[in-house]
Structures are given as structure tokens and as C-alpha cells.
Structure 1
Amino acid sequence: MKNYIYGKNAVENIIRNFKSEIKQVFILKGHSFDPEIYNLIKEQKIEWHSLEKQEFNVLIKEGVNHQGLIAQVKDFKYLELKEFYNDSKLKQIVLILDKIQDPQNFGSIIRTASLFGVDGIIIQETNQVQVTPAVMKASAGTIYNVPIIKVSNLKSAISNLKDRGFWIYSSYLNEQSVSIKEIDFDNKSAIIIGNEGNGITNKIVEMSDFVFKIDTTNVIDSLNVSVATGIILFELSNN
């Protein structure tokens, strides 16, 4: 199966920063590359094709906002947990996603994690959206900026992180939750973000060292998970 990234920002970011991941680029006739991008395509000798609308639309699902640009990329390479650790780095921040389902949320989380310098994102092999073209577009092409670590079992991964000196923090609302403003995040912090509907699994919460909440007016039930992640990472960056 061929992998396509689509959308102006996503494709241009890949061309600028991750040329080795690109197989070829397609542009819809009637559209044009920005001069900077066209120069990079020529300099890096990236294969590209100008396609009529009918040929172009065959490449991707109907109705997606491609903005006239598609890049075919290599298969996405997930990292294994054992490959992630960097004992020489004094500060490491990890996001653990517990069954995120929506590609837009996952892509937005990746983009935010990239902006705040997160060292890795851990996801589970099952019951979790994987890296798809929709996720790549939602991440605005930052999918390669942050290592994505795929594991078969989140509980085992958390235990492994604890053994390596990480403290585990869950964004979860219960009687033990304290305000995020009261949390003093450790240099090695793993932050768990829960599913859009059900939050973090109880067994995962039980493995946490700290459970925190984001202070709100409670006018609505909860924040969107990608928005919440942005707030958490902002607070952590100012910790």
C-alpha cells in the first residue's frame, strides 16, 4: 500500500526537512510550487509529476483537502522503546497516549509535542489510531520531528519507564487529582493522556505517581484532548 501525505504545509515541511522520506511529489495542474520549494525539489533531485485532476484524485480519498499537493513517502518507521532511551540526556519528556482514536487529535498532539520539544510519544499497537495520511496532514508534516514509539502493552511500557527513573503523571479527574499548577514535574516525566471519551484506563491511572487536572470553569464537561495536551505541555515548559 502506498503512503501519501497531502496538503500544502505538510508536504512543504517534508520537502524542507525530510527529503530522504520522499519517493515522489505530485502537483495538480493549475497549481504551482512556491519558488523556495521548487528550488529545493530541483536541488535535492526529488521526482515530481504534474497531474490532471482525474489522475490526481485517484491517488487519495475523495473530499480530502489536498490543496493541490501530494507526496508519496516511505513506510513510517516506529521506534521500539529500547531504542528510545538516552541516559546521557538529563531531561526527557514522554507522552503516553491511552487509546486516542481521532486522527485529527493525534496529528494535533504530534504537532504540539514537536513545538514543545517532547522527546517521544508512546502509543499502543491496538485500539489506537496509527500514523495515517490524515494524521500526517493534521500534524502539518511534523510527524518525523518526534519519535513515535509503538508498544504491545502500555502497562509494561510504564513499568519499563519507571525502572529507567521516569515519574508517571496522569491527566485525569478523580478525588485524588490536584491542580496542574501544583505539580512539580521531574526531569524525567512521562505524561499520560487519555481517550477522547473515556479518559485513561483505571489500571493505567493506578500505576501513576501523580494524578492532576487542568483548572477550568467547568462550563462544559471537558477540554478537547489535543487542546488539553497543549495546555499541559505549556505548563510543563514553564515548570
Structure 2
Amino acid sequence: MLWRHKHTSSYKLLVQNSSLHFLLFLTYTMTLCQALVRTSLLSSHFFIHHLPSSFPTIRHGFQRNCRRIRCIPEVSIPEAVAISEPSILEPSEDLSKDTVEQLISPQNKDNVSKLMKMERKPTNTAVVPETNGRWFPYLDEFRVNGVSLSSGEVVEALDPLILDVRKERFRNVVKHRSYGVCLVVEGLSDFGNVSAVCRSADALGLQSVHVVSCGSSKRYRDNRHVSMGSEKWLDIEVWNSTQECFDVLKSRGYRIATTHLGKNTVSIYDMDWSCPTAIVVGNENRGISEEALKLSDLHCSIPMNGMVDSFNVSVAAGILMHHAVCDRTSRLGSHGDLTSEENQILLAEFFLRHSKSAISIAGDYAKRKSSNPMPKL
């Protein structure tokens, strides 16, 4: 019994020593790995942030197209350096060319039209009885490389390009979109307000925004943080004059409601917003022009209960659009009123606006379609 006891004690001591050596080895290995990771990350940081000026796209793309994830514990890394992965594979934009004047100036309408991809109906097309007085601007056609694709083919071509979560977001947004109410901004001088109303329109489900008589060289990227890129997903139309804009809107079946305080002003709470309506907001200082007041179908106002008698123009536009959406929802059951066909067409439009590579991918699909035509039944 004594021999067995001594043997057992020796064995336990041997095991304890082995475990200690293993723990020391493991601790050393982890320390070495952390040092290597720190060195690797800091080297990447040095490489990206010390690239020559001849590589602006790489520098900008790394800083713009990444999202942070949790770093390795106990590794001290500067804020700008984090383990990251690409978010949306889109080419970086040249913000030096992105100005308000270039985007929504009457002299540069082509820049706005580039945002819209699917074929559109002619501007002066009137609403036909078959649509029940509802305006929808797109045709079920996208032309690329001399080939026409339907909205279904566009969706099929671009489906592999877009993440499932993004596609679900598109479908949910399109489901709640409507052309039943549109926004008209007349002569705004502060393009921060233009950006703000665009952001509100997008958030509330209005797809159509009209800009009258805008012209400024102020940089648009200065207001990017206000609009949050919402203009990318809206249908923005630019007009040289108020009359031109109103004539087209009336031909599309809209009544023109200008925001104005006067004798015949109607409270927004007494209006039926299920009727197609164009909400018009005016200049920050002068308000709605006399021409717009004469050409409009009605004047409306937001009841005021304070000492002041007006809102900031972007706030007023937000209140008007929000009330219109709430009233339409209570009367119609939903603000979004697109048919299944219109829903599909607008979804294809969103797919095409998703990234700059979407057009080239749709073009490749069109080439394959033209070289392998479907047999006629």
C-alpha cells in the first residue's frame, strides 16, 4: 500500500507539471498571435492611409465601403482601423462633380433623367380612363444595347447581384409607394431644404417630386447628410416654369393644392387626400408665387395654435405629406396603391438604381437574350 501511494503522488506531480507547461505554451502562443494580428492590422492601416494620390478610388472605397465589426479583445487599434468587410459592391462616386446645379437645374435635365432607368411615358401623356384617374409614369420596358427587357426580365437578370435582405427591403418599400400624392417645391433657395423634403417624401412613401426654377452652384454633397441619398430612389422632375409644371400635373389628373393663408384657405384636416393631389410649397422668404396661387385649384393651410404663424418650409412639407398619408390610409386602407404590374415595374426600377454595375449586368443579359431568342410557340 505504501509503494502504491508513492507512485500515485509522483504521477500527480508529473501531470501537474505537464499541465503547467501546456498552459505556459498556450499563453505564449496567444500573445504571439495577438502581436501578429496587431502588426497586420496596423500595416493595413498604414498601407491604405498612405497610398499615393494616384489611387484615390482605393482610398475612398476603403473608407466608404466598409462597416465595422467587433475587434479582437485586448488589441488596441485606432478608431479608423477596424476589421471590416465590404458592404455594397458599388463603385465609389466622384463627389467633386456632384452638385445641386448638376442634379436638379432646369439647364441640366438630363442629369435628373439619368436617375430613371425604365422607359417612361411622354411628359404630356394624359391619364386614361382605364387607370381610374391614377398616374403611373413607367412603361414595362427597359432598353439596353438595342434590346428591350421587361420588368420581369430585369428582376431576373439582377437578382443574383443583390443580397436577399436588400431585395426584401426593396419589395417592402415598393409595396408602400404611391403616385397619388406628389410634392412640388417652387423656387427654394436653400438646397438643404430641398434635400430635407426629399428625405421626408421618400420616408413617407411619395415617389414623385417636382422642382421648379432651381439654379445654384452650391455643392450638393454638402447636403448629402440631410437627404441621406433619398434622391436616388425618387422620381425627380425639373421644370423651367410654374405654369409648365402645373399644366403637366393637371393633365396627369392631379389637383394643385398650394400652401397659403388667405380668405379661401382650406384646413388640411378638411381635405380628402384620396384624390390625386400635388402639394406645392414655396420659397422660404416669399412663399408661394402669385402665378402659382392663380393657377392652383385650392389653397390649404396647417392650423396654427402658437404665437408664430408659419413653419419652416421643410417642416411644413413634412407635416402636409404625413397628414396626406394618414388620411389616405384611413380612407383607402393603405397609402400604397400600385397594381401588381406597377409594383413589378417599380421594383425593376429600384433594382436598376441599386448600383452602377446593374446596367452593365442587364446589358449582358440582353446580349444573351438576343443571341438565344426564345422559340415561338
Answer whether TM exceeds 0.5 for this pair. Answer: yes
**Aligned AA (1:39):** P
Note the alpha carbon deviations across 1:48-101, whole angstroms, 9 max, x for none. xxxxxxxxxxxxxxxxxxxxxxx5257643149945979555652211111111
2:320 to 232, 236, 239: 232
Pick closer, same or farther for the CA change 1:32–1:97 going to 2, 3 Å.
closer
User: 1:142 and 1:95, CA in 2 relative to 1: closer, same or farther beyond 3 A?
Assistant: same
Shift of 1:129: 8.1
Larger Rg: 2
1:142 to 230, 244, 251: 230
Tell me if the contact between 1:178 and 1:213 (Cα under 8 Å) persists in the aligned partners.
Answer: yes
Q: Distance in 1 between matches of 2:90 and 2:254?
A: 43
Kindly tell me: are residues 129 and 200 of structure 1, through their superposed partners in 2, closer, same or farther at Cα, counting changes over 3 Å?
A: farther
Mind listing any 5+ residue stretches in structure 1 that lack a counterpart?
A: 1-22, 48-70
The residue aligned with 1:181 is 269
Q: Secondary structure at the match of 1:121?
A: strand
More displaced, 94-103 or 32-41? 32-41
Query: Deviation of residue 45 (structure 1)?
Result: 6.3
- Measured in 1, the distance between the counterparts of 2:296 and 2:195 equals 25
Structure 1 contact 100–128 (Cα < 8 Å) conserved: no
Q: Work out whether residues 172 and 200 of structure 1, in 8 Å CA contact, stay in contact via their aligned partners in 2.
A: yes
* Alpha-carbon distance change, 121 to 225 in structure 1, aligned in 2, over 3 angstroms: same
Q: Which residue is equivalent to 2:295?
A: 207
1:113 matched residue in structure 2: 201
| Alpha carbons 1:107, 1:136 under 8 Å: kept | yes
- What amino acid is aligned across from residue 113 of structure 1 in structure 2? A
RMSD value, Cα: 3.3
Task: Report the Cα offset of residue 222 of structure 1.
Answer: 1.2
For residues 126 and 231 of structure 1, do their structure 2 counterparts lie closer, same or farther at Cα, with a shift above 3 Å needed?
closer
8 A contact 1:103–1:138 mirrored in 2: no
8 Å contact from structure 1 (residues 25, 46) kept in 2: no
Against the structure 1 CA distance between its residues 231 and 126, is the aligned structure 2 distance closer, same or farther, given a 3 Å change threshold? closer
TM-score by length of 2: 0.44
- Answering whether residue 221 of structure 2 is matched by residue 133 of structure 1, we say yes
Structure 2: gaps spanning 5 or more residues: 1-56, 70-83, 104-110, 114-119, 136-178, 328-377
Alpha-carbon distance, 1:167 to partner: 0.8
Does structure 2 retain, via aligned residues, the 8 Å contact 1:24–1:72?
no
Deviation (angstroms), 1:206: 1.3
Verify: 1:78 aligned to 2:127, yes or no.
no
State how far apart, in whole Å, the 2-side matches of 1:188 and 1:200 are.
20
SS in 2 for 1:238: helix
Q: TM-score, normalised by structure 1?
A: 0.68
CA–CA separation in structure 1 for the residues paired with 2:60 and 2:124: 34
Could you tell me which amino acid in structure 1 is paired with residue 86 of structure 2? Answer: N
Paired position in structure 1 for 2:242: 154
Name the structure with the higher helix share: 2
Bigger drift between 194-203 and 31-40 goes to: 31-40
Identical columns (%): 21
Which has the larger strand fraction? 1
SS of the aligned residue for 2:225 comes to helix
Report how many residues are paired.
191
Q: Contact 1:98 / 1:128 at 8 angstroms: preserved in 2?
A: no
Deviation at 1:136, TM superposition (A): 2.7
Match of 2:305 among 199, 212, 217: 217
Give the conservation status (yes or no) of the 8 Å contact 2:259–2:279: yes
